[in-house]
Amino acid sequence: MSKVNIIGQALPNMPWENRPEGVTTPVWRHSANPIIDRNPVKGIARIFNSAVVPYEDGYMGVFRAETINGRPHLHLGKSKDGLKWEIEEEAIVFTDDNGQPYRPNYAYDPRVVKVEETYYIIWCIDFYGAALGFAKTEDFKTFTRLENPFLPFNRNGVLFPKKKDGKFLMLSRPSDSGHTPFGDIFLSESPDLVYWGKHRHVMSKGGQGWWQSVKIGGGPAPIETSEGWLMFYHGVTGTCNGFVYSMGAVILDKEEPSKVKYRSSTFVLTPETWYEERGFVNNVIFPCATLQDADTGRIAIYYGAADSYVGVAYTDVNEIVEYIKNTHEDIADDHEIGLI
């Protein structure tokens, strides 16, 4: 097995547990999941589908908090170890271009990505239907709202942590405003975070297996490795009782990230525990963030479980890359339509 390196910072104090005896899956669960239970903070019934990043000597998180009136907002949280979180009771208030305070009337599924010295938050907002909201912060004290990147309907906005040729890159999943029974992942670029274009198709739902047959959507920010951009995402299948959300993994080309190098034909984690199978929405694993240590190759994946809890799962960069290569499936629709 050739060695795969994570290109990035060392994070020796990140959450980690070795693969438990007898577990053979490429990704394994934290033993004390869920790390955030129901009713974690006054006025908040459930926290799930949330994003964390290393910050100063600990971690910062932007959490999808379903308040007790059922509406989701974004709440800030802090942690020393990435597992025990102190979450604020009040939702994040953004400031718009004119310095006016701004709070979205709903906000869900945040991703937080550091590019150079700035942290960007991308989430799902009401823009006359589901669309992507966008903001930045440098200190997690003031949050400046940026232009919405795309027209409705769109979800699952994920920024790359590095610019390419001076341009920002963002993945997204065009959708409808409801429960979207379709969807592929696309890539767009921007010189200034205002104007987005040069749209490329990245990857399709489907393939031989059924676990990602209905739709797919980006999850945590892609991780730069010596093999390309390693990305976890969600894949959805339809059953007589509704959708089932599993986690998949793909490696995108380093130079042309709209190109799939390898993608796993099987899921890497699927709902199997009580907190993934049973909740506000049953059978959901929805990854939104990772932490990784470049020195050891350890990766911790944060995911929403059953739209009710936050779970953590682990993998190792060598093992997951080898797994993706060994289970690779070339899906014809991943190639640009019409190219001869």
Where along the sequence are the contacts to ligand BMA (CB under 6 A)? Answer: 49, 108-109, 179, 245, 281, 284, 286, 304, 307
CB of 140 to ligand BMA, least distance (A): 23
Q: Reduced to 3 states, what is the DSSP secondary structure of residue 35?
A: coil
CB atoms within 10 A of CB 90: 11
- Closer CB to ligand BMA, residue 109 or residue 189? 109
Task: Kindly state the DSSP code that residue 91 receives in the 8-state scheme.
Answer: P
On whether the CB atoms of residues 74 and 135 are closer than 8 A, the answer is no
CA 85 – CA 36 distance, rounded (Å): 8
CB of 203 to ligand BMA, least distance (A): 18
Residue 103 corresponds to which tokens in the numbers above? 């709070």
- Closer CB to ligand BMA, residue 284 or residue 313? 284
Which of 246, 152, 258, 284 has the alpha carbon at shortest distance from 204?
258
CB of 12 to ligand BMA, least distance (A): 32
CA 57 – CA 260 distance, rounded (Å): 35
CA 203 – CA 201 distance, rounded (Å): 6
CB of 72 to ligand BMA, least distance (A): 8
CA 88 – CA 53 distance, rounded (Å): 16
The H or E element containing residue 110 is strand 107-115
On whether the CB atoms of residues 185 and 171 are closer than 8 A, the answer is yes
Distance of CA 289 to the CA centre of its chain: 5
Which residue in the block uniquely carries the two structure tokens 């739709």? 215
- Closer CB to ligand BMA, residue 245 or residue 302? 245
- Closer CB to ligand BMA, residue 33 or residue 49? 49
- Closer CB to ligand BMA, residue 191 or residue 242? 242
Residue 304 corresponds to which tokens in the numbers above? 């929403």
Q: Regarding beta strands 144-145 and 154-159, do their DSSP bridges make them parallel or antiparallel, or are they unpaired?
A: unpaired
CB of 197 to ligand BMA, least distance (A): 26
CB of 239 to ligand BMA, least distance (A): 13
Under 8 Å CB-to-CB from 135, ≥6 apart: which residues? 94, 120, 121, 143, 144, 145, 146
CA 221 – CA 17 distance, rounded (Å): 22
Q: Could you check whether the bond before residue 127 is cis, i.e. omega within 30 degrees of 0?
A: no
- Closer CB to ligand BMA, residue 29 or residue 298? 29
CB of 313 to ligand BMA, least distance (A): 16
CB atoms within 10 A of CB 81: 11
CB of 59 to ligand BMA, least distance (A): 22
- Closer CB to ligand BMA, residue 227 or residue 307? 307
The one-letter amino acid code at 266 reads T
- Closer CB to ligand BMA, residue 196 or residue 286? 286
Residue 339 corresponds to which tokens in the numbers above? 């190219």
Distance of CA 301 to the CA centre of its chain: 9
CB of 231 to ligand BMA, least distance (A): 18
Q: Which residue's Cβ lies closest to ligand BMA? A: 281
- Closer CB to ligand BMA, residue 175 or residue 258? 175
